[in-house]
Amino acid sequence: MKVVLDSSILCADFRLEGGPFETFFQGLTRIGARCYLPETVLDEVIAGQRRQLDEIEQKVERLQGKWMQLAGCPLPLVPAATSQTRPDYAGYLRAQLKEREVEILPYPDVPHKTLVARALARCRPFKESGGGYRDALIWHSTLALIEGDADHVCLVTANTKDFGIAPALHPDLQKDVRSGVVVELFNTLEQFNAAKVVPVLERLGDLMHRLEEGTFSPFSLDRWIDENIIKAINENEDVRHFVPLEYGHGRVWASELMGIESTVIDDVRLLPSGDILLMANADIRIEVVVSAGWEDCERHRDVREFFGGDCSGDSSIRAEEEGNVAFTLTLKKDTFQATWCDIDALETSSGSVEINPHERREVEAGEASQQT
DSSP structure string for 248-283 = TSSEEEEEEEEEEEEEEEEEEEE-TTS-EEEEEEEE
pLDDT (0 to 100) of residue 372? 42
Where residue 310 falls among pLDDT bands split at 50, 70, 90?
low
In this predicted model, what pLDDT tens digit does every residue of 339-371 receive, in sequence order? 999 999 999 988 889 999 999 988 765 556 654
Q: Are 62 and 113 in contact (CB under 8 A)?
A: no
Q: In what order do the strands lie in the sheet with 351-354?
A: 251-270, 276-292, 315-331, 338-348, 351-354
CATH T-level fold of 2-198: Rossmann fold (3.40.50)
In this predicted model, what pLDDT tens digit does every residue of 69-116 receive, in sequence order? 888 887 776 655 555 667 899 999 999 999 999 999 999 988 788 888
In this predicted model, what pLDDT tens digit does every residue of 149-196 receive, in sequence order? 768 899 999 999 999 999 989 999 999 888 888 899 999 999 999 999
Integer angstrom CA distances of residue 37 from 93, 275, 282 = 12, 26, 39
Beta strand pairing status for 103-105 and 338-348?
Answer: unpaired
233-242, 244-253, 347-356: least confident range = 244-253
pLDDT (0 to 100) of residue 245? 84
Percent of the chain with pLDDT over 70: 93
pLDDT (0 to 100) of residue 64? 84
Q: Are 89 and 49 in contact (CB under 8 A)?
A: yes
Distance CA 186, CA 171 (A): 15
pLDDT (0 to 100) of residue 366? 55
DSSP state letter for 79: P
250: nearest Cα among 207, 309, 292: 292
Distance CA 104, CA 4 (A): 10
